[in-house]
Chains A and B, each alone.
Chain A
Amino acid sequence: MKITEKEVRYVAGLANLTLTDSEIAKQQADLDGILEHMDRLNEVDTSGVEPMAQVLFEAGETATLRADVPVAPLTNQAALANAPQPGAGYFKVPQIIER
C-alpha cells in the first residue's frame, strides 16, 4: 500500500478539494496503482544529473524579457464580468474570520 486513506484525506485538504467517501476510496485505489508505477524512477541512476527547470536551457534561442512599457490594464468592469458575486467594484466572498 503506497498511500493510506488518512493520507488521501490530508492531500485533499492541501488541494482544497471536498471529496465524498466513495471518491476518497476510488482516489486511494487509483493513486496507489499510479504511485507504484512512479516508483520505477528509483531504478534510474541520476547521480550528477541536473534537474531540468527549463526545457530550452541548452537550445540556441531562449526566452527573453519584453520592454518594460506600461499598457492599459483590463477595466474594473471587464475584470469583474465573470465574478460569481461582484459588489462595489470588488470580488465578494463569504466571511473570512470565523467567530
Chain B
Amino acid sequence: MDIPSLTIDGVRQALLSRQFSACELAAAALRFAQAENPKTNAYLHLCPERAMAAALRVDQRIARGEDPGALGGVPIAVKDVIVTKGVKTTCGSRLLAEYIPPYDATAVIRIEEAGGVILGKTNCDEFAMGSSTENSAFGPVRNPVALDRVPGGSSGGSAAVVAQGTAVVALGSDTGGSIRQPASFCGVVGVTPTYGRVSRYGLTAFASSLDHIGPFARSVKDASTVLGVIGGRDPRDSTSAEAPVPDYSAHLTGDVKGLKLGLPIEYLKQLTSETGDLIARGVDRLKALGCQVREISLPATEYAIACYYIIATAEASSNLARYDGVRYTFRSPVSDTLSDMYRNTRGEGFGAECKRRIMLGTYVLSAGYYDAYYLKAQKVRTLIARDFANAFQEVDAIVAPVSPFPAFKLGEKVDDPLAMYLSDIFTITGSLAGIPCMSVPCGNTAEGLPVGMQILTKHFDETTMFRLADGFEKVQRKK
C-alpha cells in the first residue's frame, strides 16, 4: 500500500475488497509516520494504542457485515490544541507539556464514530498563536515541500502531515487563517467552515468569537467528507449551529458553469507578482469553466489587521488567564505566595508570542482604553462583515489569494511581529465575518513553492464553496 497517495475512497474500497485490513493499514501508517516525521517535526506524538483500538473496531464492523463508516480505517492526525482523552495535548506550550485531558473533543468523538483512526497529535504555534509554527515550544515544523521553509501556521503540523503523506486527512484550527495559510504553503486543501458549523467543545480556546475547527486533505472531496462528519449541532457547544449539514459529495460534479464570482480589488493590488500571476491564471481557468467573474470592493479591508489583532488578543488575554499554575500540570517551583505563583508560572511557561498577545489584549481591555480599542474594533468588525454581506448580494462566491507570498524561510520573519501580523491580511477578513472559506492549490512558483487560492461564500454555504473548489481542482490537475 502506498500510504502517501491514499484517499478516503481508496481506503474504503481496499477495506471492503479485503485488500488490507484497517489494523494492517494503521500499523503501516504508524510505522511510516514514525520513520518520516524526523524530516519535518510535524507530529508531536503518536498514539499507537488508540489508533490500533480504533482500527480493530473498524475491522470488527466489516467482519460483521456492517458499513466501516464514512472515515472507516482512514489515518487521521489531530492538531494538538484539540483534546484527546488519555493522549497528551500540549497546545505547543511548555505550560501543557505533560497535560493529559480527561475528555475527548466532540470532533474527535465524531471522527472515531465514523471509523477514523487517529494516529497522533500535530505540532502548532503555542496556543495557535502564529503564522509559521515557529512559536511551538517543541521546535518548528519544516515544510515538506521545501525543508528550509516554514509550513505556515498555526496549524503547520496538520498541513505538513497531509502534504508529507503521514496522514490522509487532519484536523486543524483557524482563528485568523491558521488552516488556510498553512494549506496554501504546503500545497493541500484546507477548510475553515462557517463560524458555528463545527462544535468547539474540546478545542482549547484562543479567541472564542473567531475560533474554528476544520479539515486538511489532499482533495476537496476528502475535505468535504471530513466536514460532513464533524459538522452539525452539538449540545455541548452553545455556539454550534442548528443548520443541517448537507451531503456535500452530491454537489461535486465538476459543473461550475454560471457561478458568479467576485474578485476583491483591495486584495489584488497587494500581491507579489508571482502569487498574483498564479491567482490570475486560476481565475482564467474558472472563466473557461463558465464562471462569470467581476471585480468587487471590500472597502474596510485595510482596517482588518488592526481590528483582528485587537479582538483576538483581547479574547486571548481572557482565555489564557486559566493557565495560572493551579490546575494544568505546570507550576513555577519558586513561589511562596499565591500571586507570585500565578505570575511566575505564567512568566516561565508562556513563550514570547503568547506573552506579547496577552499583553496587547490586556492593554486594549484596560481602563481608559476599552472604548478606543476594543469597542472601536467591534464596530469595525460590523463594517467588515457588512462588506461581505453586500458582496454576496451580487456574487455567489469570492475568489482571492490566501497569503501575499508563498512559504518563507525559517527564521526570516521571527524578529518582526507586526510584519508577521500584516501577512494575515487576506485570511483575517473572512474570519472576522464568520463566513466559510478555504484554500485550494493553485499551482507552484518557479521555485516550486505552492500557492493556494482562497474561496469564500456566505454563511453556511459550504456547498457552493466545495462545488467551485472541486471544479477548479479537476481542471488544475489536468493541466
- The chain A residues found within 8 Å of chain B, CB to CB, are 3, 7-8, 11-12, 14-19, 23, 26-27, 30-31, 33-35, 37-44, 46, 49-56, 58-67, 74, 78-79, 81-85, 91, 93-96, 98
Q: Is the CB of B356 within 8 A of A31?
A: yes
Given A16-B343, A66-B238, A11–B382 Cβ distance below 8 Å?
no
**Cα separation A81 to B329 with both chains bound (whole Å):** 9
Per DSSP, are chain B's interface residues mostly helix, strand or loop, or mixed? helix
On chain B, the residues within 8 Å of A44 by CB distance are: 300, 303, 376, 379-380, 383
Given A14-B362, A52-B381, A61-B243, A74–B338 Cβ distance below 8 Å?
no
Most buried by B among A43, A51, A67: A51
Smallest distance from the beta carbon of A80 to chain B beta carbons, Å? 9
- The chain B residues found within 8 Å of chain A, CB to CB, are 98-100, 102-103, 194-196, 209, 235-236, 238-243, 300, 302-303, 305-307, 309-310, 317, 321, 324-331, 335-344, 346-348, 350, 352, 355-356, 358-360, 362-364, 366, 373, 375-383, 385, 389, 417-418, 421-422, 432-434, 459-460
Q: Is the CB of A50 within 8 A of B382?
A: yes
**Cα separation A82 to B433 with both chains bound (whole Å):** 37
**Cα separation A37 to B416 with both chains bound (whole Å):** 13
On chain B, the residues within 8 Å of A35 by CB distance are: 360, 363
**Cα separation A49 to B385 with both chains bound (whole Å):** 12
Smallest distance from the beta carbon of B117 to chain A beta carbons, Å? 25
Q: Is the CB of A18 within 8 A of B375?
A: no
Q: Is the CB of A52 within 8 A of B382?
A: yes
On chain B, the residues within 8 Å of A16 by CB distance are: 321, 324, 339, 342-343, 346
Quick one: closest B residue to A10, CB to CB?
B366
Given A49-B383, A52-B385, A66–B338 Cβ distance below 8 Å?
no
Q: Is the CB of A62 within 8 A of B100?
A: no
Quick one: closest B residue to A81, CB to CB?
B102
On chain B, the residues within 8 Å of A50 by CB distance are: 379, 382
**Cα separation A28 to B358 with both chains bound (whole Å):** 13
13 pairs across A/B with beta carbons < 8 Å? A8-B359, A16-B343, A30-B417, A41-B307, A46-B383, A50-B382, A52-B379, A52-B385, A55-B195, A55-B209, A84-B328, A95-B338, A96-B337
